[in-house]
C-alpha cells in the first residue's frame, strides 16, 4: 500500500518560491500564468494492508514529522 501526502503552505502564508516561479515564467514569455504555488509530495510505501488504519497512521506521521503545521496544510491519499 502507498500513501501520497500533499503538503502545501497554508493560505495567506508568504510563498516566495511560488512568486519567483510565476515571475520567471512570465519573463520567459509564458503570459498566461497568473499565480504559482510550490508544494511538496511525500510518497510512502507501507507494509500495512488496511487503508483505514494506514490513513490514521499517516495522519500521525504528518502531525509529528512530515508537515510543519504552523505554516503548512496537508492532504493524505491512500493508494493500493
Partner 1 sequence: MKKVKITPEVVAEHGLSEKEYEIICDRLGRAPNITELGIFSVMWSEHCSYKSSRRHLKKMLTKGKRVIQGPGENAGVIDIDDGDAIVFKMESHNHPSYIEPFQGAATGVGGIMRDVFTMGARPIANLNALRFGEPSHPKTKSLVAGVVHGIGAYGNCVGVPTVGGETNFHRGYNDNILVNAMCVGLAKQDKVFYSAAKGVGNPIFYVGSKTGRDGIHGATMASAEFDDDSDAKRPTVQVGDPFTEKLLIEACMELMATDAIIAIQDMGAAGLTSSSIEMADKGGVGVKMNLDKVPQRETGMTPYEMMLSESQERMLMVLQPGKEHIAIEIFEKWDLDVAEVGITTDTGHLVLTHKSKTVCDIPIAPLGDDAPNLNRPYDPPKNLDTLYNDQIMDPVTRGTSYNDVVTTLITSPDIASKRWIWEQYDRSVMGDTVDSSNSGGDAAIVRIHGTNKAIAITTDCTPRYVTADAFEGGKQAVAETYRNLCSVGAEPIAITDCLNFGNPERKDVMGQFVRSIEGIDAACRALDYPVVSGNVSLYNETNGQAIPPTPAIGGVGLIKNLERYATLKGAKEGEHLVLLGKTDGWLGASLYAHLILGHAKSEAPLYAPPPVDLEAEKAAGTYVRRLIRDRRVSSVHDLSDGGLALAAIEMAFANGFGFKLKGSADVPLYAWLFGEDQGRYLVSVEENSLNPVISTARTLNIPAQKVGTIGGSRLIATGGFDLSLQDTHMEYESWLPDYMAD
Partner 2 sequence: MQSAVIVFPASNCDRDAATALEKITGRKPLMVWHEETTLPKVDFVVIPGGFSYGDYLRSGAIAARSPIVRDIVKKAGNGLPVAGFCNGFQILTEAGLLPGALMRNKGLRFVCRPQKLQIVNGDTMFTKAYKGITEVTYPIAHFDGNYYADNDTLRELRKTGRIVFKYIDNPNGSLNDIAGICNEAGNVLGMMPHPERAVDPLICDSGRGGTDGIALFKSVLEAVR
Contact residues for a second copy (CB under 8 A)? 6, 8, 18, 21-22, 24-25, 28, 30-48, 54, 57, 60-61, 64-66
* 63, three cell numbers: 502531525
CA 47-52-53 angle, 5° bins? 55
Residue 32 touches partner 1, criterion: CB under 8 A: no
> Other CB atoms closer than 10 Å to residue 15's CB: what's the count?
20
Which residues 12-41 are close enough to bind partner 2 by CB under 8 A?
Answer: 13-14, 16-17, 20-21, 24, 27-28, 38
Binding status of residue 24 toward partner 1 by CB under 8 A: yes
The DSSP 8-state label assigned to residue 10 in this structure reads: P
Amino acid at each position: 500500500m502507498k500513501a501520497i501526502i500533499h503538503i502545501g503552505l497554508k493560505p495567506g502564508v508568504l510563498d516566495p518560491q511560488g512568486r519567483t516561479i510565476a515571475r520567471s515564467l512570465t519573463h520567459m514569455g509564458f503570459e498566461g500564468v497568473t499565480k504559482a504555488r510550490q508544494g511538496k509530495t511525500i510518497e510512502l510505501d507501507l507494509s500495512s494492508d488496511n487503508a483505514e488504519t494506514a490513513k490514521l497512521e499517516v495522519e500521525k506521521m504528518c502531525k509529528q514529522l512530515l508537515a510543519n503545521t504552523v505554516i503548512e496544510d496537508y492532504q493524505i491519499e491512500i493508494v493500493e
